[in-house]
Amino acid sequence: MVKVMSRVQEHTVECSTSSTLCKPVFKQSCDGRDSDASIVLAGNNSDVDQQSGKTEHNLSVYVINLQKEPVMPCSPCKARHLLEQNEAVVVSRKPFTIQLLKTKGTAKQPITLGVDAGYKYVGVSATSNKKELFSAEVTLRTDIPKKLQNKASYRRNRRSRLWYREPRFNNRSKDKGWLAPSIQHKLDSHIRIVEKIKKLLPITETIVEVASFDIQKIKNPDIESKKYQQGEQFGFWNIREYVLHRDNHTCQHCHGKKKAPVLQTHHINGKKEGATDRPEELLTVCKTCHDEHHRGIDIIPKKKIKNFKPETFMTVVRWKIVNALECKHTYGYITKTNRIKQGLSKSHINDAFVIANGSNQDRCKSYYIKQTKKNSRSIQISRKKFGISVRKQRYPLQPSDIVKYQNKEYIVVGVHCKGSCVCIKESSETKKDVSVNIKKVELICYGKGIQFLPRLKPLSILGEIL
């Protein structure tokens, strides 16, 4: 094994991408797991949730040919032999991918990729006639609206100081098919993930589950015919008038005990909770209660309100995903029926497996794909004798990067001392961060962009952080 490792390190190429950095490391044994028992990897749900009647096999090693085109994957043992015989080199670590140095193994099999599209979670599964070759659950970013609010506040503050600048309000036209930035990012993420998988496997067919939701039907199951045009605000001038009428022109906090003549509408939740001007999120209160709430004297309690962002998202982008990928589509009721017939529990991975025409194939261990931003911009306010500035410097290591320290793998949870030291999680039991000099750690792969992390049991440090 030592000879194999030494020879692999000589012929391993170092490949830097936006989300991974390949290092000359290949320590997988024949069962697909890392040979170092103390290694820290990601974990998530139980493996029982991913069974389909047959036993679960290990993760495969993905293979590309000399033209960088994907071919059928191989087992870790086969990959080790190819590396030992100098017939392949490592091009990516997560997921582990090798490139052939000779023209061989060009035979391909039909592979179907199933995509369970969603607002926050996406399930993907690639199956052949005999077994499942790839399985993953993707967590999309949900911090885009908050980042846009911060950017707008910075721009507004900057422009307020440029008093000589002429106002420009006529350059806000939007192109046809324009989507909100947060929705557009999620749409692009679906396409990006599918394209990434197509670089690992020779996908011959792609199937996406689409759905259309009737929001008014969800709110009122008895709605029909002309009632669609006569909504809950029918006959009222504006939302405020409707909310006051709905609450009988009575303060819903003190119920008229304070006898304040002026009534106002109050947002139950703030901007941090994603407040909008929907009637469900507005409450009639008197001016006295409203003023006391904002002064912190008598706080009006918040409550959880059902929003329909996931349903609206799927209704808007369902055909955009299908047209962009030029693939087939299916519907949720078909997926549910087939999943129940096979006795599978409800999960994004199982839904994707059923969408990919999975039935009796052997299941594989699934990946957990975490999506994070690639760069950070932060306001630096601790500058003596200088004003506030935006720090754009990128340190060698960033949070979410995976490093090796004392023959163990850790995830970076923070950077300090101007990037010269990193904080790593010491143990899942103590939950303490350890500060280590950057010269004592070895970078394994960057954690920005799309991270492929295997699901292993029990839950590990990396899984707890993510």
| Structural domain spans, the chain | 2-100, 229-295, 378-447
How many alpha carbons fall within 13 Å on the CB side of residue 452? 22
The highest-level CATH class for domain 378-447 is mainly beta
Phi, psi of 10 (to 5 degrees): -70, -35
Phi, psi of 263 (to 5 degrees): -110, 145
Reference 219, options 135, 269, 280, 281; nearest CA is 280
Q: Can you tell me whether residue 91 is helix, strand or coil?
A: strand
Q: How far apart (Å, rounded) are the C-alpha atoms in residues 405 and 29?
A: 21
Q: What pLDDT, on the 0 to 100 scale, is given for residue 384?
A: 65
DSSP 422: E
Can the peptide bond before residue 396 be classed as cis, meaning omega within 30 degrees of 0? no
Global pTM reads: 0.75
Q: Exposed/middle/buried for 333, CB within 10 Å: 0-12, 13-18, 19+?
A: exposed
Q: Exposed/middle/buried for 105, CB within 10 Å: 0-12, 13-18, 19+?
A: middle
Q: How far apart (Å, rounded) are the C-alpha atoms in residues 129 and 149?
A: 48
Q: In angstroms, what CA-CA distances link 148 with 251, 317, 381, 451?
A: 35, 21, 20, 23
Reference 367, options 44, 72, 17, 90; nearest CA is 44
pLDDT in tens, 274-332: 788 889 899 999 999 999 999 988 899 888 888 888 899 999 999 999 999 999 999 99
- Number of neighbours of residue 230 by Cβ within 10 angstroms: 11
Q: What pLDDT, on the 0 to 100 scale, is given for residue 43?
A: 28
Sorted by sequence, the CB contacts under 8 Å of residue 99 that are 6+ apart come out as 13, 63, 64, 65, 66, 68, 88, 89, 90, 91
DSSP 105: -
Q: What is the pLDDT along the chain (466 residues), one digit of tens a residue?
A: 334 344 434 443 333 333 333 433 333 333 333 333 333 332 223 233 333 344 566 778 999 999 899 999 999 999 999 999 999 999 887 788 999 998 876 778 999 999 999 999 999 999 999 899 999 999 999 888 888 888 888 778 777 776 666 666 666 677 888 899 999 999 999 999 999 999 999 999 999 999 888 888 888 888 888 888 888 888 899 999 999 999 999 999 998 888 888 999 999 988 777 788 889 899 999 999 999 999 988 899 888 888 888 899 999 999 999 999 999 999 999 999 999 999 999 999 999 999 999 988 889 888 888 887 776 666 666 556 666 666 666 788 887 788 889 888 888 888 888 788 999 875 554 467 889 999 999 988 777 778 887 553 333 333 333 3
**Beta partners for residue 449, in sequence order:** 372
C-alpha distance across the termini of the chain, in Å: 33
Q: How far apart (Å, rounded) are the C-alpha atoms in residues 116 and 137?
A: 9
Sorted by sequence, the CB contacts under 8 Å of residue 188 that are 6+ apart come out as none
Q: In angstroms, what CA-CA distances link 31 with 7, 27, 58, 438?
A: 21, 11, 6, 33
Sorted by sequence, the CB contacts under 8 Å of residue 336 that are 6+ apart come out as none
Is-contact 70 62, C-beta < 8 A? yes
Is-contact 356 125, C-beta < 8 A? yes
Q: How far apart (Å, rounded) are the C-alpha atoms in residues 164 and 66?
A: 60
